[in-house]
Amino acid sequence: MSLANKLALERRGRLAAERLLELKQAELSAANRKLGRHAAALQGEIVETRAEVANVKTENERVKTELGQANQKVEIAERRLWHSVQTITDGFAFFNSDNRMIAANSSYLAIFDKLEIIRPGVHYVTILQVLTDEGIVNTGKLAAQDWREMMTDRWMQPQPEPITIRLWNGQYIKLVDRRGQGGDIVSLGLNITESVEYEKQLKTARAEAEAASRAKSAFLANMSHEIRTPMNGVVGMAELLGDTALTEEQRLYVDTIKNSGEALLVIINDVLDYSKIEAKKLQLHPEPFDLERCIHEVIMLLQPSARDKGLTLLVDYDLFLPTVYVGDPGRVRQVLTNLMGNAVKFTSEGHVLVRVTGVPDIESGQATVNIAIEDTGIGIPEDKIQHIFGEFNQVENERNRQFDGTGLGLAISQRLVELMQGEMWVTSEDGVGSCFGFKIPLELGNAELPAHPPVPAGLRRVLVVDDVEANRTILRRQLEQIGMGVVTCASGAEALKKLDNIDLVLTDHNMPGMDGLELAEAIRNEGCETPIILLSSNTSFAANDPGASHLHAILQKPLPRADLFKQLQSVGPLITRKEEPEPPKVRKMRVLAAEDNKTNQLVFRKMVKDADIDLKFAANGIEAVELFQSFVPDMIFMDISMPKMDGKEATMKIREIEEGSGGHIPIVALTAHAMDGDDQGILASGIDHYLTKPLRKPEIHGMLRDLCPPDAPPPLPDDDDAALQAG
Ligand code: ADP
């Protein structure tokens, strides 16, 4: 090869090497730049991380300090708590769910007299063992083993009942243990020795006081009894002496002895009764008795003094309440005599009314009987009302002082009523009158409600003559109850105008203007032979009057229903009824009443008893639909809520039937309460009218009048309810 070629080759090699070098240099500087950038980025990151680390460090410091503080607080709280637990004088311990002691205060441990074994970690059963083994606890009648078993059983309960244990030294500890969350138990041992001792002392003191009080009452009872015997002699002899020939002066002395003796006897009897009750020596002697009769017997006793004052005595005995009960008639009579006697004593004009109500429960054979005695007397100032039930307490004021008495009557009555498991109350208005009431549970004497006595033969319409409205009302109700028609009037003159079609005249004796005896005379003078019964509060006086010859009977008033009915039966045969032409045979208005409730049926029946209708009851909707077809009523009273089929459904069924057969029977719904918005639903079922309960007689009568068909006679006279409301 030529030199030139060699040179050219070498030049080319050098150029290529130079280019490669340049290339590598460029790559190197690019890599360098990249590295520089990366280093810069790293540098930034390092700075950031450093800052973060610094932050975390401060945060850590803060948490550490706070934790330290919190720990300190917890320690302080724990120390304080433990200090408190230590200072309380009652025993206090915690147990874990394995029944091992976690901690206990010194009072708790003190009982164990520093026994090593009783310390945290000890099992509850071991504690019980130590208590018995060391004789720390007095297990009483229980053997140690049984006591421990009983205590262990108790401890295992989810919430053990507190229990009081007795220690060897006579101290009483009440253990109250509470299980907390996680099964821990907090156990408290309260030292109740003092209160137990105190309670014991109280019991003894009370027993002593009661014994003393009983001894005092027994002494009083004995003494009263001892005084009563000779006093009876004094009064009896004074009475005999009074029947002998005496000068006027001597008679005055004898009467005074007798009256004072009698007054003393009343006081002694009261004291005797009161002491007996207090000494718990008074026992009730239950036997069957007639309560209504009992009330009338008391009335008979009080009648003379009531008559002297011109007072009317009235009895309103619930028509549906039985009269025969099992109770202590003597004590019931005593309470009645007291309350009714007071009512007469503290009333100078007006009336005394005894009202007896109650609801018998045939199933249990019991009735709670309410008896209220209402008077129009002097009343009792409000602030004295409680006071008068205390023994020997009376209202101390001018008006009251004119009446004598011991002030024991109410105290005795109240205690007697309480003895009969009852209660007594009073409402009163000063100067207006009082009402003393009591209620007692009584066993029914005969399990049935009083049967309605048969309507006396031939007796249809009775004329009741009495100037006192309350009396007229009571008699009217009693007579209507047995199905008689009653015409009432307030005077003899009025009675004379109402004698047509009357089978019996029942007249009061004492009336302003013409009295009952004069009325009897006048009735006979008119040529009327209707039997007349006189109701008098003074029968013997009436019997001696010439007018008495016109009377069928003279009855003491007020009189028990049973007696009244008996007398009515005896009148029946006397009645010579003029042969009346048979009334034309027209059919009566037929009324169907759908009502499931027996009481409501009774109420309904009572409300329409004056109406001349043919009445049938359906006990549910199904029966109503059946009777609609078989009985063909002129109208239906339909209760809405009934079992089996309700009133709405029954009405719809009836309307369906009518669609086939034609016609439209008036249906009156009876709803339990005012219908709020439901009336649309009710009317939509095809009901024409509705009445809301409680049923009101004028409304029912109104419906009967309005819906009576033309071919039946009007069921009621037009003025019936107007007259009723006016009278
Ligand atoms: P007594 O009638 O013997 O005084 P009670 O214990 O029966 O004793 O009655 C206590 C008092 O209650 C009577 O004194 C009287 O002040 C008052 N009191 C009782 N009943 C009535 C009454 N019906 N009207 C007014 N006050 C009465």
What ranges do the domains of the chain cover?
11-85, 91-191, 287-444, 461-570, 589-726
Pick the range with the lowest mean pLDDT from 328-337, 537-546, 622-631. 537-546
Give me the pLDDT at residue 455, please.
67
Residue 452: which pLDDT band, with cuts at 50, 70 and 90?
low
Give me ligand 1 centre to Cα 404, in Å. Answer: 10
Q: Which atom of ligand 1 is nearest to the CA of 378?
A: 25
User: Which tens digits make up the pLDDT trace of 478-506?
Assistant: 888 777 888 999 999 999 998 888 889 99
Q: Which atom of ligand 1 is nearest to the CA of 389?
A: 6
CATH architecture of 589-726: 3-Layer(aba) Sandwich (3.40)
- The residue nearest atom 13 of ligand 1, judged by CA position, is 394
Q: Which of 111, 170, 113 has its CA nearest to residue 140?
A: 170
Name the phi and psi angles at 403, rounded to 5. -100, 140
Query: One fold for both 461-570 and 589-726?
Result: yes
> In what helix (H) or strand (E) does residue 130 lie, and over which residues does it extend?
helix 124-133
Q: Determine the longest span between alpha carbons in the chain, in angstroms.
A: 208
In 577-720 the beta strands, taken as DSSP E runs, fall at 589-594, 613-618, 635-639, 667-671, 689-692
Distances from the Cα of 17 to the Cα of 3, 103, 192, 208, 648, angstroms: 21, 94, 114, 138, 120
DSSP state letters, 260-292: HHHHHHHHHHHHHHHHHHHTT------EEEEHH
DSSP state letters, 160-213: PPPEEEEETTS-EEEEEEEE-GGG-EEEEEEE-HHHHHHHHHHHHHHHHHHHHH
The amino acid that residue 22 corresponds to is E
Cα 46 from Cα 41, distance rounded (Å): 9
- Pick among 3.40.50.1970, 3.30.2130.30, 3.30.450.20, 3.40.1360.10: CATH of 91-191: 3.30.450.20
pTM for the full predicted model: 0.50
| 633 CB-contact burial (10 Å; exposed 0-12 / middle 13-18 / buried 19+) | buried
Residue 264: pLDDT over 70: yes
User: Which tens digits make up the pLDDT trace of 532-550?
Assistant: 999 888 777 787 887 788 8
Give me ligand 1 centre to Cα 651, in Å. Answer: 60
Give me ligand 1 centre to Cα 276, in Å. Answer: 21
DSSP state of 572: G
Cα 446 from Cα 360, distance rounded (Å): 11
CATH architecture of 461-570: 3-Layer(aba) Sandwich (3.40)
Q: Which atom of ligand 1 is nearest to the CA of 373?
A: 23
365 neighbors 443 (Cβ within 8 angstroms):
yes
CATH number of 287-444: 3.30.565.10
Pick the range with the lowest mean pLDDT from 85-99, 510-524, 705-719. 705-719
User: Which tens digits make up the pLDDT trace of 658-715?
Assistant: 888 778 899 998 875 544 445 666 777 888 888 876 677 888 888 998 888 887 888 8
Name the phi and psi angles at 271, rounded to 5. -60, -40
| Range from 282-296, 343-357, 591-605 that averages highest in pLDDT | 343-357
- The residue nearest atom 21 of ligand 1, judged by CA position, is 342
Give me the pLDDT at residue 336, please.
95
Residue 274: which pLDDT band, with cuts at 50, 70 and 90?
confident
- The residue nearest atom 18 of ligand 1, judged by CA position, is 342
701 neighbors 721 (Cβ within 8 angstroms):
yes
DSSP state letters, 299-325: HHHHHHHHHHHT-EEEEEE-TTS--EE
Mean pLDDT along residues 528-534? 89
Q: Are strands 163-167 and 172-179 parallel, antiparallel or unpaired?
A: antiparallel
Q: Return the SS3 of 531.
A: coil
Q: Which atom of ligand 1 is nearest to the CA of 406?
A: 3
User: Which tens digits make up the pLDDT trace of 384-423?
Assistant: 888 888 777 777 666 666 666 778 889 999 999 999 999 9
Residue 406, both tokens: 């011991």
Mean pLDDT of the chain: 85
Q: Which atom of ligand 1 is nearest to the CA of 393?
A: 10
Give me the pLDDT at residue 675, please.
45
Mean pLDDT along residues 73-79? 91
- The residue nearest atom 20 of ligand 1, judged by CA position, is 342
Residues within a 6 A CB radius of ligand 1: 338, 342-343, 346, 375, 377-380, 388, 394-395, 400, 405-411, 434
